[in-house]
Amino acid sequence: MALTITPPTTHPETEQPRLSLARIPVSATLAANETLDARRRRGEPVLPLAFGEAGLPAHRILRAALAQAAGCNSYGPVAGHAALRQAAAGYWARRGLLTDAEAVISGPGSKALLFGLMAAIGGDVAVTRPSWVSYAAQAALSGRKAHFVPGSGGVPDADQLAKAVTAARAAGNPVRSVIVTLPDNPTGLLAPAAAVRDLCSVAEAHDLVIISDEIYRDLVHDPDAPFASPAVMSPERTVITTGLSKNLALGGWRLGVARLPAGGFGRDLRDRLLGIGSEIWSAPAGPVQQAAALAFSEPPEVAGRVALSRRLHGSVARAVARTFVAAGAAVPAPQAAFYLYPDFSPLADVLLGRHGITSDEGLAGMLLHTYGVGVLPGSAFGEESGRLRLRVATAMLYGDTEDQRHVALNSSDPCSLPWIAGSLARLEEVLADLTG
Ligand SMILES: Cc1ncc(COP(=O)(O)O)c(C=O)c1O
């Protein structure tokens, strides 16, 4: 097996004539947020189910660590401070992945690291259909192609991946990597070990680098559920990315980390990623790195916070899923994070007959503009048009104030709190009206 890095390819069809700009659409989430804000200002009811934000306050001890590190104002090393890299290595070691701190690179969010990794590895990328919006968008931004391969729980079906890679290469598009999301956004599902094992076999047979986005790993609702990382099965070709945005709700702090494989390929990739980081972000914010080092060392308060968040996400996601099921949609039981992925195809006749709706965009548009319910259409995640799937994010239901969110976090029955119960009742009412 010869893991190598190829120079980036360009695609003539994406090259723009001089003095013109490639179209980069404004995110569907932001557009939905603007509509919801306008309704709020008019005093109309809204249900914010579009935004994939973790919806919880920053933990007290992390705020204190951040404030205390305010004087940390030098750029520092591109890979991140040694304390942060060591803490992240310890985080992975506690999950059964022995990690050398040298193999850890931090960046301003895992999103930036994913973009850097795609550029560093070169070639096209295979992604799951459906998968997180930004993989394909980032590939397009850097002149690459994202090849969508049907799959489930964030992992492409192995046979279809092998066929897609072979066909793309034969057509002159060298696919060099595959991205998996464990557990998954948009579906809230966790792929079983067998699917990950099959994926690793195909990656080895076709010499693909595996990028394993494990940003939701700590938010699997059942903490005892087995978790299979491709980094265990294919250690020499797997990069893991994670961060603090989801498990500790610190999205705005912008801190992510990548764990590069050991060995020659991992070292080459590290050098390339550092080169890219040095030219784009230099280093993540110094004070944030200090607080992140504390977070990755997982003192009991932090581990306890993640456990409470996991319980809250699970309770509310399951309750919202039950509401969609009661209205007639098909919903795989959510297993992780704060997402679910209802499929309205059992209601296709009703939606067509009553409202003339034939697409997920039409359905999401009607929910937004008629009822003030913000959700995202499955097509934003690479779903083929004509499917009636929606991505529903549930973590913005925890409250409008920090106090409400703290109460929700500490409640053993959050769905009975008046503001969450009210949102569930409103959703039930909307779906009843929509489906008759
Ligand atoms: C699957 C997935 N990966 C990565 C990210 C980005 O995380 P970060 O805040 O670390 O850039 C998100 C955020 O929505 C996500 O859903």
pLDDT in tens, 222-245: 999 999 999 999 999 999 999 999
Q: Whose CA is nearest to atom 5 of ligand 1?
A: 111
Q: What is the mean pLDDT of residues 205-231?
A: 97
Residue 8 has pLDDT above 50, yes or no: no
52 touches ligand 1 (CB under 6 Å): yes
243 touches ligand 1 (CB under 6 Å): yes
The pLDDT value given to residue 14: 41
Q: Whose CA is nearest to atom 16 of ligand 1?
A: 185
Residue 4 has pLDDT above 90, yes or no: no
The pLDDT value given to residue 350: 96
Q: What is the mean pLDDT of residues 248-252?
A: 97
Task: Write the DSSP symbol of residue 268.
Answer: H
CA nearest to 228, candidates 95, 42, 331:
95
Residue 45 backbone phi and psi in degrees, to 5: -70, 145
132 touches ligand 1 (CB under 6 Å): yes
What is the share, in percent, of the chain residues with pLDDT greater than 90? 90
337: Cβ–Cβ under 8 A, 6 or more apart, which residues? 183, 185, 188, 216, 219, 246, 313, 317
Alpha helices in 49-180 (DSSP H): 60-68, 82-93, 110-121, 133-141, 158-170
pLDDT tier at 26, thresholds 50, 70, 90: low
The pLDDT value given to residue 9: 45
Task: Let me know: does 160 contact 207? Beta carbons within 8 Å.
Answer: no
pLDDT in tens, 194-203: 999 999 999 9
Q: What is the mean pLDDT of residues 339-357?
A: 97
Peptide linkage before 130 cis (omega within 30 of 0): yes
- Between CA 381 and CA 184 the distance in angstroms is 12
Residue 340 has pLDDT above 50, yes or no: yes
Residue 436 has pLDDT above 90, yes or no: no
Poorest-pLDDT segment among 133-137, 159-163, 281-285: 133-137
The pLDDT value given to residue 18: 55
Largest CA distance in the chain: 63
Q: Mean pLDDT for the chain?
A: 94
CA of 56 to the centre of ligand 1 (A): 16
Among 132, 155, 189, name the best residue to mutate to test ligand 1's pocket (greatest count of ligand atoms within 8 A of Cβ). Answer: 132
Residue 69 has pLDDT above 50, yes or no: yes
Task: Let me know: does 182 contact 217? Beta carbons within 8 Å.
Answer: yes
pLDDT tier at 248, thresholds 50, 70, 90: very high
What Rg, from alpha-carbon coordinates, does the chain have?
22
pTM to 2 decimal places: 0.94
The pLDDT value given to residue 385: 77
CA of 118 to the centre of ligand 1 (A): 15
pLDDT in tens, 92-137: 999 999 999 999 999 999 999 999 999 999 999 999 999 999 999 9
